[in-house]
Structure 1
Amino acid sequence: MSHKQQAISGGKWMSISTALSTLFQFGQVAVLARLLEPSVFGIVSVSTLLIAFFNIFANLGFSNSIIYKQEDDQQVLSTIYLLNLILGLVIGVVVFFSWPLVAAYYKEPRLEAVIKLSSLYFIIVYVGQIYLFLLQKELRFKAVATIDMTGTIVGTATTILLAYNGFAELALIYGQLAQQTAKSALQMIFGSKYFRPTLTFNLALIKDHLRFGLYNVGDGIVGFIQANSDNILVGGLLGVKPLGYYTLASQLAVFPIARLNPIVLQVAYPILARLKGDTDELKKSYLTILDLLSYVNLPLLAGLFITADSVVPLFYGPGWEPTILLIRIFVFVSIFTFLSNPLFTLAFSKGKPKLLFQLNVATLFIKIPLVYVLAQYGGVVGIAVAFMLATLANMLLNFRIVHSLIGPFLKEFAQGIAKPVGFCLLMVGAITLYKSFFDSISVPHTIVQIGIGALIYIGLTLRFKFPLAELKSLGKAA
């Protein structure tokens, strides 16, 4: 199977997985927004931040190094596996006993039970994670998608069932643990043909992986602070209720992009890792990834921007109106983010993860002062604006690094993105015109607005970018 066919097949399965996961995620949020108060979402987001931070140390960047080096030595993999298990256990203990500091910072006693329960995540996740890395390395995206879909279904069902039975914020934590338990079990089942752990533990065998991972850890720490300083400050300065609004706005505007982009990037990286010596091919692939991400993401974000005032009351229910303006700001955050994401594939394909670390350090120095200053004047909206400006700066620096890796590309990029931007402007204009005549917020009017936007964008795309005949040929290739 050619690289193109592998990419199409992998993209197909990851698309199915992402579509299902996104559908369940939004369904879960829509249900929980009517059952739980905003502060609950703020409390759970603190737990999510804690897990994301400590994941940096437990992972040590092994996922990227295993794929980059195409590692299959069983002794090396066993050492990595055992090291991950030890780190996971140690980090779980650290998280468990961190609750007094976190609860004091956020001034929220309910965080004690949430953090103690969340510590189990690290014991569960690293039992199966190395198998996931190997499945990605071997381009087994059907298995990866099956694991993700099953975990999503288990986690969503657990969360909603417990929320209905009064578990409040603990319902979401138990749901996360149930989801990860299902995924870890399936990762071991599907990946067992590529790895069977032994009692080998020799750090000398993995010194190259550890060296590769140092920049991953450094980049992860700085990247975490850079990406989440706004969430940390919202909760610490303003309380968990504003953090709840901020979290749900981010989920609606940023979560879909966070789910869609890995469809392309997860498939692209293992393939590009095999092309690391061919700069011309890497440049073509990078521009192709940007083109695909633009056509997929821009219409969703443009549609969300223009329909946010209709979608929020219908989707979340009454009481969530403060999220509308935040969502519209986060739309631009998502645009700058998805345009920056493909640098990941280039940096690791070239074996230069330190570039990502340097980029995040530079962005951090821009973002922290912006967030602090604008928080004083604009509260939660000011923090969102600061996040948007910092993300824009990150994108501009990102493009400078890309230029250093593959040469000039902005002309081709501008030519490629011009069409989807134009299509989106026409789509937004048509929806705005409709809303000027029919201003009521109702399910029928919202459906009509979405339908108008979809018909215009899809019609223009099929006419001027992806003719039906070409799509059919790609489908046969998959």
Structure 2
Amino acid sequence: MSHKQQAISGGKWMTTSTAISTLFQFGQVAILARLLEPSAFGIVSVSTLLISFFSIFANLGFSNSIIYKQEEDQQVLSTIYLLNLSLGLFIGIVVFFSWPLAVAYYKEPRLEQVIKLSSLYFIIVYVGQIYFFLLQKELQFKAVASIDITGTVVGSIVTILLAFNGLAELSLIYGQLAQQTAKSALQLIYGGKLFRPALKFDLNLIKDHLRFGIYNVGDSLVGFIQANSDNIMVGGLLGVKQLGYYTLASQLAVVPISKLSPIILQVAYPILARFKGDTNELKKSYLTILDLLSYINLPLLAGLFITADSLVPLFYGPGWEPTILLIRIFVFVSIFTFLSHPLFTLAFSKGKPKLLFGLNLITLCIKIPLVYLFARYWGVTGIATAFLVATIANVAFNFRIVHSLIGSFFGEFVQNITKPILFCLIMVGAIALYKSYLDSVDILNTVVQIILGALIYLGLTFRYKIPFAELKTLGKSA
């Protein structure tokens, strides 16, 4: 199978996985928003932040180094596996005893039980994670997709059932643990043929992986603070209720894009890593990835921007109106965020993860002062705006780094992105015109808005970008 066919096949499976996962996530949030108060989402957001933070140190960037080096040595993999298990156990203990600090900072006693339960995540996740990396390395995206889908379905069912039985924020934590347990079990089943761990632990064998990973950990640490400083400060400065509004707005506008972009990047990275020395091929692939991300993400975000005032009352129910303005700000955050994503693939394909560390460090130095200053004057809206300004700065530096890696590209990028932007403006104008004649917000009118926008954008795309015959050819090759 050619690289193109592998990419198409992998993209098909990862698209299916992401579509199902996103659908279940939206359905779960829509149900829980009517069962739980905003503070419950804020409390769980704190737990998620803790898990994300400590996960940085637990895998030491081995996922990227295993793929980059195309690692197959069973003794090396055994050492990495045992090291991950040890770190996971240690970090689980640290998280368990960190609850007093979180309770003191957020002034929320309910965090104690939530954080104690969250510590179990680290004992579960690292049992099967190395198998997941190996499945990606071997381009077995059907298995990867099956694992993600099953985990999402199990987690959503457990969460909703427990929420209906009155477990409030704990239902979300138990759901997360159930999801990860299902994923770890399937990772062992699917990946068992690729690796059987032995009682071999020799750090000398993984020196190259550790050196590769140290920049990845540094980048991930700075990137975590850079990406989540707004969430941390919302809860600390404004309380968990405002954090709940902020979290749900982010889940609707930012999280879907953070799921869609990795479909392409997850497929592209192990393929590009195989011809990492060909700069011309990397440049061509980088522009292709940006083009594809633009055509997929821009219409979704433009549609969300114009329909947010209709979607929020229908999707979340009454009481969530403060999220509408936040969603519209986050739409622009998402646009600049997905434009920055392909640098990850490019930097690791070139074996230069330290560039990502420097980029995140610069963005962090810009973002934190802005978040604090804007929060004092404009509250939660100010924090979202500060996030947007920092994201724009991040893209500017991001493109400068890309230029240093692959040469001049910006002119071609602007030429490529002009069409989807124009298509989106036409789509938004048509929906706005339709809304100007509406007397009320209801399900029927909202559905009509979505269908109208989709037909306009797809029609323009098939007419001026992708001929239908070419689309059929791609479908057959998958």
Amino acid across the alignment from 2:444: P
Tell me, in whole angstroms, the C-alpha distance in 2 between the residues paired with 1:12 and 1:219: 30
Count of aligned residue pairs for this structure pair: 478
Amino acid across the alignment from 1:443: I
Q: Find the residue that maps to 2:128 and give its secondary structure.
A: helix
Displacement over 3 Å in runs of 4+: none
Q: TM-score if structure 2 supplies the norm length? A: 1.00
Q: Find the residue that maps to 1:332 and give its secondary structure.
A: helix
Q: How does 1:392-431 map to 2 (within 5 A)?
A: 392-431=392-431
Q: How does 1:174-193 map to 2 (within 5 A)?
A: 174-193=174-193
State the partner residue of 2:460: 460
Q: Find the residue that maps to 1:272 and give its secondary structure.
A: helix
State the partner residue of 2:333: 333
1:366-401 per-position Cα deviation (integer Å, ceiling 9, x unaligned): 001100100011000000000000000001100000
Tell me, in whole angstroms, the C-alpha distance in 2 between the residues paired with 1:258 and 1:157: 23
Q: TM-score if structure 1 supplies the norm length? A: 1.00
RMSD (Å), alpha carbons: 0.4
1:406-442 per-position Cα deviation (integer Å, ceiling 9, x unaligned): 0000000001000000000000000000111114110
Q: Find the residue that maps to 1:437 and give its secondary structure.
A: coil
State the partner residue of 2:75: 75
1:53-105 per-position Cα deviation (integer Å, ceiling 9, x unaligned): 00000010000000000000000000000000000000000000000001110
State the partner residue of 1:65: 65
How far 1:237 sits from its partner (Å)? 0.3
Amino acid across the alignment from 1:117: L
State the partner residue of 2:232: 232
Amino acid across the alignment from 1:135: L
State the partner residue of 1:118: 118
Verify: 1:10 aligned to 2:1, yes or no.
Answer: no
Q: How does 1:5-404 map to 2 (within 5 A)?
A: 5-404=5-404
Tell me, in whole angstroms, the C-alpha distance in 1 between the residues paired with 2:395 and 2:144: 29
Amino acid across the alignment from 2:329: I
Tell me, in whole angstroms, the C-alpha distance in 2 between the residues paired with 1:216 and 1:439: 53
Amino acid across the alignment from 2:446: T
Q: Find the residue that maps to 1:127 and give its secondary structure.
A: coil
State the partner residue of 2:475: 475
State the partner residue of 2:434: 434
1:18-71 per-position Cα deviation (integer Å, ceiling 9, x unaligned): 000000000000000000000000000000000000000001000000000000
Q: Percent same amino acid at aligned positions?
A: 81
How far 1:10 sits from its partner (Å)? 0.1
Amino acid across the alignment from 1:115: I
How far 1:122 sits from its partner (Å)? 0.2
Amino acid across the alignment from 2:420: P
How far 1:467 sits from its partner (Å)? 1.1
Q: Find the residue that maps to 1:256 and give its secondary structure.
A: helix
Tell me, in whole angstroms, the C-alpha distance in 1 between the residues paired with 2:345 and 2:211: 19
Tell me, in whole angstroms, the C-alpha distance in 2 between the residues paired with 1:76 and 1:446: 54
How far 1:221 sits from its partner (Å)? 0.8
Q: Find the residue that maps to 2:261 and give its secondary structure.
A: helix
Amino acid across the alignment from 1:167: L
Q: Find the residue that maps to 2:166 and give its secondary structure.
A: coil
How far 1:322 sits from its partner (Å)? 0.1
Amino acid across the alignment from 2:327: I
Tell me, in whole angstroms, the C-alpha distance in 1 between the residues paired with 2:472 and 2:159: 40
Tell me, in whole angstroms, the C-alpha distance in 1 between the residues paired with 2:436 and 2:275: 51
1:262-284 per-position Cα deviation (integer Å, ceiling 9, x unaligned): 11000000000011000000000
Amino acid across the alignment from 1:242: Q
Tell me, in whole angstroms, the C-alpha distance in 1 between the residues paired with 2:441 and 2:200: 63
Verify: 1:449 aligned to 2:449, yes or no.
Answer: yes
Tell me, in whole angstroms, the C-alpha distance in 2 between the residues paired with 1:466 and 1:185: 41
Tell me, in whole angstroms, the C-alpha distance in 2 between the residues paired with 1:91 and 1:41: 24
Structure 1: state its 5+ residue gaps: none
Tell me, in whole angstroms, the C-alpha distance in 2 between the residues paired with 1:275 and 1:234: 43
Tell me, in whole angstroms, the C-alpha distance in 2 between the residues paired with 1:334 and 1:172: 25
1:90-128 per-position Cα deviation (integer Å, ceiling 9, x unaligned): 000000000000111000000000000000000000000
Tell me, in whole angstroms, the C-alpha distance in 2 between the residues paired with 1:196 and 1:467: 47
Tell me, in whole angstroms, the C-alpha distance in 1 between the residues paired with 2:79 and 2:352: 24
Tell me, in whole angstroms, the C-alpha distance in 1 between the residues paired with 2:464 and 2:275: 30
